[in-house]
């Protein structure tokens, strides 16, 4: 694992020592090279794990997320060039360093083999994210958003620390690889119920579960583009990843503890997608759509069948790329119109035809058009929830309909119709932006050819 971690650390000196006009191109190229290394982990020759050391390992659950994380850094760098163009050089370098630091923590989080280590890094990712949101956000509300972001996640995850200490005390180890052989079924008692809650709530808040999701739209809306991208693409997936790792410890309590959270997610996914129908704010719409998609992942993880785990993993990767792409598109609108309000950016297809093609493809992947991996994820989740209870198909069906509706509503409002006069003299779309969208779409399309590598440990 050091062959990814050390190059990532070395990105920081590269940033600070590069010539002023080379900072973006150097870091982006280097980041892309690192992401190439991470692709090797997708090949899992033996069905268990690749143990790199006592501290790091990767298996087929963490490898796709790892690849996603490393893939996203160059994309974030490409996306935020315009946003930072007016900043002094030191601040640019500081910003890039923050992104690199975040990537470093994320890589280590996804590959940590020890729960406490995982926990520490999980919390450590908050710091660069918080700085990115509150320092480089666009409006004053960013401070409020940072407050929400920090407090929700911290409040959720502090009980986890206590729970982990307790588990360590009676199990003797918190190593993922060993725990799965030592694990005893938990007896059904009040204290164990609290243990379950303490373990799961940290990740439920991060996902976020409906009801605890308020921080997400705020953070997404106020964050600069790179912040939104990494939040939607990777940070939310930490929750899903953590849940899938920790549920092995919590059997058989999950069987009945899941009910209220299943209910909340199924209900919340419809609520959040119907909120999307009434959004006027483009970024907020995309953020709520993330909440709705993540609710599907929560449902899948709580059902705990092989099919649902496959669906959850596939959906996480697919949603990571799709929502990140949507945020990039929203940002390219924002850089031209200087507003997130959708009605102000109508009829852009006439002016930016290529951008309209990206919008179309992004919306189609968001509504899970076959045979994209979004569909595979959603389909597997629907299958497993159907086998869990036949009636969930009604809720899932409503959600499928509303998802299609708001995705196309977003497409039609921004791209179709007549353009308004104040956008007559906007800049054309840059090659940088087109390359950015292509780099989002390529993995999505190529993964549909061979979805097996992102289906997680049990295919």
Partner 1 sequence: MNMFSSCMITALVILTLPIIMSSTKLYKNKLYPYYVKTATSYAFMISMIPTMMFIYSGQETIISNWHWMTIQTMKLSMSFKLDYFSMIFVPVALFVTWSIMEFSMWYMHSDPYINRFFKYLLLFLITMMVLVTANNMFQLFIGWEGVGIMSFLLIGWWYGRTDANTAALQAVLYNRIGDVGFIMTMAWFLLNLNTWDLQQIFITTNDNFNLPLLGLLLAATGKSAQFGLHPWLPSAMEGPTPVSALLHSSTMVVAGVFLLIRFHPLMEHNQTIQTLTLCLGAITTLFTAICALTQNDIKKIVAFSTSSQLGLMMVTIGINQPYLAFLHICTHAFFKAMLFMCSGSVIHSLNDEQDIRKMGGLFKVLPFTTTSLIIGSLALTGMPFLTGFYSKDLIIESANTSNTNAWALLITLVATSLTAAYSTRIMFFALLGQPRFSPMIPINENNPLLINSIKRLLIGSVFAGYIISHSITPTTIPQMTMPHYLKMTALAVTTLGFILALELNLTTQGLKFNYPSNYFKFSSLLGYYPTIMHRLTPKTSLTISQKSASMLLDSIWLENILPKSISYFQMKSSTLISNQKGLIKLYFLSFMLTMILSLLILNYHG
Q: Which of residues 186-225 bind partner 1 (CB under 8 A)?
A: 211-214
By rule CB under 8 A, what count of residues binds partner 1? 49
44 forms part of the interface with partner 1 (CB under 8 A): no
Q: Which stretch binds partner 1 (CB under 8 A): 40-48, 56-64, 158-166, 404-412?
A: 404-412
The candidate with the shortest Cα–Cα distance to 361, out of 306, 298, 439, 293, is 439
Q: Which stretch binds partner 1 (CB under 8 A): 61-69, 122-130, 337-345, 406-414?
A: 406-414
Q: Which stretch binds partner 1 (CB under 8 A): 69-77, 91-99, 145-153, 433-441?
A: 145-153
Residue 363: CB minimum distance to partner 1, A: 10
With CB under 8 A as the contact rule, the residue among 29, 51, 274, 434 that binds partner 1 is: 274
Q: Which stretch binds partner 1 (CB under 8 A): 56-64, 95-103, 134-142, 345-353?
A: 345-353
The candidate with the shortest Cα–Cα distance to 337, out of 413, 228, 226, 437, is 413
213 contacts 124 by C-beta, under 8 angstroms: no
307 forms part of the interface with partner 1 (CB under 8 A): yes
Q: Tell me how far apart the alpha carbons of residues 275 and 278 are, in angstroms, rounded to a whole number.
A: 5
Q: Tell me how far apart the alpha carbons of residues 58 and 112 are, in angstroms, rounded to a whole number.
A: 8
- Give the single-character DSSP code of 42: G
347 forms part of the interface with partner 1 (CB under 8 A): yes
With CB under 8 A as the contact rule, the residue among 161, 197, 404, 445 that binds partner 1 is: 404
- CA torsion angle for 181, 187, 192, 195 (degrees, to 10)? 10
Residue 281 φ/ψ, nearest 5 degrees: -95, 120
Can you spell out the DSSP letters for 373-398? HHHHHHHHHHHHHHHH-TTHHHHHHH
Site string for partner 1, 165-184 (x = CB under 8 A): --------------------
Q: What share of the chain is helix, strand, coil (3-state, %, to 5)?
A: 80, 5, 20
Q: Tell me how far apart the alpha carbons of residues 247 and 259 are, in angstroms, rounded to a whole number.
A: 15
Q: Tell me how far apart the alpha carbons of residues 145 and 62 are, in angstroms, rounded to a whole number.
A: 29
369 forms part of the interface with partner 1 (CB under 8 A): yes
With CB under 8 A as the contact rule, the residue among 223, 262, 383, 410 that binds partner 1 is: 383
405 forms part of the interface with partner 1 (CB under 8 A): yes
459 forms part of the interface with partner 1 (CB under 8 A): yes
393 forms part of the interface with partner 1 (CB under 8 A): yes
Q: Give me 451's structure tokens.
A: 């979805």
With CB under 8 A as the contact rule, the residue among 40, 151, 182, 256 that binds partner 1 is: 151
CA distances from 109 to 58, 69, 122 (A): 11, 11, 6
Q: Tell me how far apart the alpha carbons of residues 358 and 326 are, in angstroms, rounded to a whole number.
A: 9
Q: Give me 169's structure tokens.
A: 């005390």
445 forms part of the interface with partner 1 (CB under 8 A): no
455 forms part of the interface with partner 1 (CB under 8 A): yes
Q: Which stretch binds partner 1 (CB under 8 A): 93-101, 162-170, 332-340, 342-350?
A: 342-350
Residue 227: CB minimum distance to partner 1, A: 20
Considering the complex, state which of residue 128 and residue 451 has its C-beta at the smaller distance from partner 1: 451
327 contacts 222 by C-beta, under 8 angstroms: no
259 forms part of the interface with partner 1 (CB under 8 A): no
Contacts of 166 (CB under 8 A, 6+ apart): 195
Residue 33: CB minimum distance to partner 1, A: 28
Which positions lie near partner 1, rule CB under 8 A? 148, 151-152, 211-214, 271-272, 274-275, 277-278, 306-307, 310, 347, 349-350, 360, 364, 369-371, 379, 382-383, 386-387, 390, 393, 396-397, 400-401, 404-405, 408-409, 412, 415-418, 450-452, 455, 459
């Amino acid at each position: 694992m050091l062959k990814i971690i050390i190059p990532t650390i070395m990105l920081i000196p590269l940033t600070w020592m590069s010539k002023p006009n080379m900072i973006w191109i150097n870091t982006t190229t280097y980041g892309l090279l690192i992401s190439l290394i991470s692709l090797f982990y997708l090949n899992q020759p033996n069905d268990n794990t690749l143990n790199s050391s006592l501290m790091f390992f990767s298996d087929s659950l963490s490898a796709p997320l790892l690849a996603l994380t490393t893939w996203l850094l160059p994309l974030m760098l490409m996306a935020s060039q315009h946003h930072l163009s007016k900043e002094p050089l030191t601040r640019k370098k500081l910003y890039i360093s923050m992104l690199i630091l975040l990537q470093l923590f994320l890589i280590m989080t996804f590959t940590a083999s020890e729960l406490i280590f995982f926990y520490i890094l999980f919390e450590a990712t908050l710091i660069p994210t918080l700085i990115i949101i509150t320092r480089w956000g666009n409006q004053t509300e960013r401070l409020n958003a940072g407050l929400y972001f920090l407090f929700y996640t911290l409040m959720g995850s502090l009980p986890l620390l206590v729970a982990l200490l307790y588990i360590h005390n009676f199990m003797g180890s918190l190593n993922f690889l060993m725990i799965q052989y030592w694990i005893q079924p938990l007896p059904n008692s009040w204290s164990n119920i609290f243990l379950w809650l303490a373990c799961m709530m940290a990740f439920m808040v991060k996902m976020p579960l409906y009801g605890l999701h308020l921080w997400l739209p705020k953070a997404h809306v106020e964050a600069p583009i790179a912040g939104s991208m990494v939040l939607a693409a990777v940070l939310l997936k930490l929750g899903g990843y953590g849940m899938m790792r920790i549920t092995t410890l919590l059997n058989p309590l999950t069987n009945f503890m899941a009910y209220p959270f299943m209910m909340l997610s199924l209900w919340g996914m419809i609520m959040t997608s119907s909120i999307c129908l009434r959004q006027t704010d483009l970024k907020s719409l995309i953020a709520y759509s993330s909440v709705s998609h993540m609710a599907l992942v929560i449902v899948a993880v709580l059902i705990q069948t092989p099919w649902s785990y496959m669906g959850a993993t596939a959906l996480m990767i697919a949603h990571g790329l799709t929502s990140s792409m949507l945020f990039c598109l929203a940002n390219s609108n924002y850089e031209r119109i200087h507003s997130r309000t959708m009605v102000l950016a109508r009829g852009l297809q006439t002016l930016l035809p290529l951008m309209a093609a990206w919008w179309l493809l992004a919306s189609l992947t968001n509504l899970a058009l076959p045979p994209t991996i979004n569909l595979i994820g959603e389909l597997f989740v629907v299958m497993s929830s159907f086998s869990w209870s036949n009636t969930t198909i009604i809720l899932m069906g409503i959600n499928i309909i509303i998802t299609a509706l708001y995705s196309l509503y977003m497409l039609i409002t921004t791209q179709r119709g007549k353009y308004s006069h104040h956008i007559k003299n906007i800049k054309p779309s840059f090659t940088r932006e087109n390359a950015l969208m292509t780099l989002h779409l390529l993995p999505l399309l190529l993964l549909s050819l061979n979805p097996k590598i992102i289906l997680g440990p049990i295919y």
